[in-house]
Structures are given as C-alpha cells and as structure tokens.
Amino acid sequence: MIKLLLVEDDVSLAYIEKTGLEDIIGGYEVVTATNGKEGLQAWQDSKPDVIISDIDMPVMNGFEMVERIRETDQDVIIIFTSALTSPNDVKAGYRLGINNYVKKPFVPEELDAHIQALMKMRSGSKTQKETSHYKLGKYTLDAEHATLRNDETGVSQTITQREAQILQLLAENKNNVVRREAILSRFWNTEDDYFASRSLDVFVNKLRKLLADEPKITLKTVRGIGLQLLVE
C-alpha cells in the first residue's frame, strides 16, 4: 500500500483524484489537505511515501511547503500537479527538490505511472548505498542501530535513538545550516515550545561531547537560525 498525501485546494478535484487512486487504480491510501500549511502538518503526522501537491493555494503555497519539507526530508517523492506552465515555475519547483511535474488536467492512470516510475528509481538508488551510515571524521554513525564507532580504535558506543536521528539529519545536510524550527517540528512535532527547545539543547551538548576529540568535526550553533555540522 502506497501512502500518499494529496494537497489540493479544489475540494471537488481532490475527491476525484483520491477516489481515482484508491478505487480505480487501487493500492493507495490517500490523505488530503487543502493548503500548504495543512500539508505540512499532514506530512508530519502521516509520513507519506509520496506527496502530490498543487502550487497556487491559499495560506501557504506549494513552493513554500516543499521548501520546508526538503529541509529535513530528502526521501519523500514530491510531484507538483498544476495548470501553471511558466518555465520559471517549473524550474523553481525542481530547484526546491520536487521529483516530477504533471500538468493538469490528467487521468489517475497517468499519475500512477509517474509514481510507479519514481518509486522504482528511488528503490534502486537506495540499494546502491548505505543510507544509514555516515562518515564523520574518525567516527562512523550507524543511524539505524544508534551506534557511533571510532574507526581508529574499533570501539562502538550506543547512543540514544533521538541523538542518532538528530546527528543523521545534520550529517545528511553537512556544512549546511538546518533551521532549529525544522528540527523541532520533525522530532518534537512543534516549532515553538520552550521545553522541546531546551531538550534539543541537551541533545546537542551531548553530541558535542561525543565528537569533541575529532577536530575535523564541529557542531556549530548559528545564532537565531539553527545548527550546522561542519565536516572537513
């Protein structure tokens, strides 16, 4: 079953697309949202395999939603469906990290074909690399098993799942700043909570201590913005 998030402000069109994928094509579990803000919340709650989104929507448009999602999630497949045909719109979408662009109107079979092709490509690329292992100077993070191995001594230490998740996110975006709000929304399901923010600080301090004896690694706080894992 493919978990799909459909973000579309036209309720009638959303219903047609949802029933087309679930009832006509089959094999889909579709969650709907009517704008980018609702889409962000639904993405956090449902953890979909695929996001199908319109661009021009009230409250928050598709561009802004995708930009926020791609800050912490590079894996979910995102397809824009829109009547907008400007080359600038198409280029803007691909710059933000969408995987495909389908022009409206379309039939469910067409959308299903795009999704199946993208999922096959994504599956193939994942089998060619160790997606849960990250080289950090003399250390190797195994995010799946929450361990940090010193490659010089061969000694592995167990870290908490949350520590592993935070370090994995920073490693995936190494040398780039990850917004503090993005980390909080992903791991604490909030962007503005005092206790969650303080909890994040505790995890960051622990990670700094774990990596303190590796001069090639710096976990930097960019004041007012977020965190940055600098790797030489």
Give the chain's domain count.
2
Contact 147, 184 (CB under 8 A): no
Tell whether 103 and 204 lie within a shared domain. no
The string over 156-184, giving b where at least 16 C-beta atoms fall within 10 Å of a residue's C-beta and e elsewhere, is: eeebeebbbbbbbbbbbbeeebbbbbbbb
Tell whether 140 and 122 lie within a shared domain. no
Tell whether 12 and 78 lie within a shared domain. yes
Tell whether 8 and 87 lie within a shared domain. yes
Tell whether 55 and 86 lie within a shared domain. yes
What's the CATH number where 123 sits? 3.40.50.2300
Q: What is the pLDDT of residues 59-87, one digit of tens each?
A: 999 999 999 999 888 889 999 998 866 77
* Its pTM surpasses 0.85: no
Q: What is the span of the domain harbouring residue 93?
A: 2-127
Q: What is the pLDDT of residues 122-174, one digit of tens each?
A: 776 554 444 678 999 999 999 888 999 999 888 899 999 999 999 999 998 88
Tell whether 116 and 154 lie within a shared domain. no
